[in-house]
Chain A
Amino acid sequence: MAKVLMKGNEAIGAAAIKAGCKHFFGYPITPQNEVPEYMSKELPKVGGVFVQAESEVAAINMVYGAAGSGVRVMTSSSSPGIALKQEGISYIAGAELPAVIVNIVRGGPGLGSIQPAQSDYNQSTRGGGDGDYKLLVYAPANVQEMVDLLQEAFDKADYYRNPVMVVGDGMIGQMMEPVEFKERPHVDLPAKDWAAVGTKGLRKPNVINSLFLQPEDLEEHNIRLTAKYQKMKDNEQRYEAYNMENAEIICVAYGTTARIVKNAIETLKEEGINVGLIRPITLWPFPEKAFEVLPETAKAFISVEMSMGQMIDDVKIVSNGRLPVDFYGRSGGMIPTPEGIIGKIREMIGGAK
């Protein structure tokens, strides 16, 4: 199929519809408004449903209801709105329902700003809802990758019966890039025979629920969920390794920040300084496998983020004391520049000598 030029947020809507999502529940918040706007225009054309909820809290609970009915369903929001959705996300995970949640991250805390940020790393990977649950979290770095991962997110959600979050920053939502809607391989998915769609008098009632009043029942449920999360850890880690051969410094960066880091790497290369990049594509599970074998030249990691430092904790965990972990970040809607990153890396190399 030919490439079309699309704004990130609209591409999200188009990709969801392409993936068979006909149900969208959302609430306006900048910088993701083009997603609900696109869905309100396009979903009715394919016999789908768009509802503008009264709040993010209601929107995520509508998602929970629709997911319980077995349909492919999505919501999108931005940071403060995602904070409000956390209770519902925990219920969706607890009841083991598939759903896709998009977060076009803006600066925080509080009302923060409407500019791009990556300060929801913790909110995405550690959750904000109660209990031991995990989301599969994708972090695309360009609009094409957003479109590909978003479609896959629906398959993964169905496969694991678990909510999947797709995280982009405001930049990805607003930028125009050429995208191609590729033919996707057919994925065999289990029938949704658990859905609450009416018994028709033919079977026992299905119950969608996350309540287990007996402690032994809830523990058993948690053990089962944890086994599922382990399966995700084993099978779903994704990353890109860039310029890792003979790298002295290894940057860890995701999303649009990784693109800026690549620019910095190319400039430093011309000066004969070798810097590598590990770009997590899944934020959870964190791509531990990328860190198993490191080039012998590596002297340090640096986590580069559009935040005051959140992913750095995971980099420290996987480094496990092997190498020092440094940090460079901008926040509040300030975008890291290649020059800023280069300056920091020069400082590190000076110090590492």
Chain B
Amino acid sequence: MSEAAEDDRAESIRMIRDSAAAVAPRGGDSKRVRALRFTDPGYDPAVLRQMGEMGWIGLRLPEAAGGAGLGMGEMCALAEELGAGLAPEPLIPAALSAALLGYADDQAALTPLLAGEALTLTAWQERADSLVTPGTPDAKRIFVPMAGGATQFLLPLREGTRMALHLLPAAGADLTIERTQDGGTYGTLRPDLSRATRIADDVGGVIGRVLDEAALATAAYLLGTMEAAFALTLQYLRTRQQFGRIIGTFQSLQHRAADLKIQLSLTRAGVEGAAAAFDAGATGDAARAVVSRAKARAAEASLRVTRECIQLHGGIGYTDEYDAGLYLRKAMVLANQYGSAALHRRRFLETAPEDEE
């Protein structure tokens, strides 16, 4: 990239961050987040619409398809900001569906989704902790995030060697909802194919890539969540006093904070590096390897940082009233979404190029 192009890129990412902060202020608006927990649908439809208006749901779609035509660098910056503000709106699952609908060129379904007026969720998953899409016609689809707010579902269906895409209205669908730790929902869908319409012959070539982008964006969201949890922890270490001293002066706690900082920096390097690789055109195994490296790290590090956040706070960290728990619960939900650390470690070894040394 030329220097001017790099500057443009940095500016575009900075702008995304600024506008994200207006919707989901970093570590600032836990009142909104709390008020939405354990409600139906678990997020604010008005905020999802706002996200649509900002062009975020179609951020990655080409402009010709009604999107913003931006890169993974922007997508990850956006997801990170939303993670820092714990925004419950299902932007990542919505963007995943937008990519498939864009590929299927179904403007009728795509337009309201991009506007944030309808929520189309892709019901691809048949087994826990998996990134493959078997497309089994009669299999129930599990762990559909925020399914309670869906207006329609996208169903990948195996037809011989092809993976067709069907659209199923959510109204009247056989859907069970379970609550998640962060106050959202997971849905289990038993699809009735007689009510579905076929909208694409074969999405087999893109669905893996689309899931990888969701995995990477989730890693970025977790990066934001752990940054916010870490900031809260540092603030506490700087102010809380015991034994007549600020607890941040205890060397054992300083070392713990230093270790967490290392994890944060590793996660950031992995996530931003993966996004840059995507934007530089990485495909196939090379792309899968960087996503897996980033998501494996983000999953483990986010759990660790949020656990330590509780421990370093003592008793107050164990109250629901204090925000430390919100970060812990968010990490619990997202660490294994779009693949656990174990899944991604395995996949990394299968896809990473041999070490040259």
Q: Does chain A bind chain B? A: no
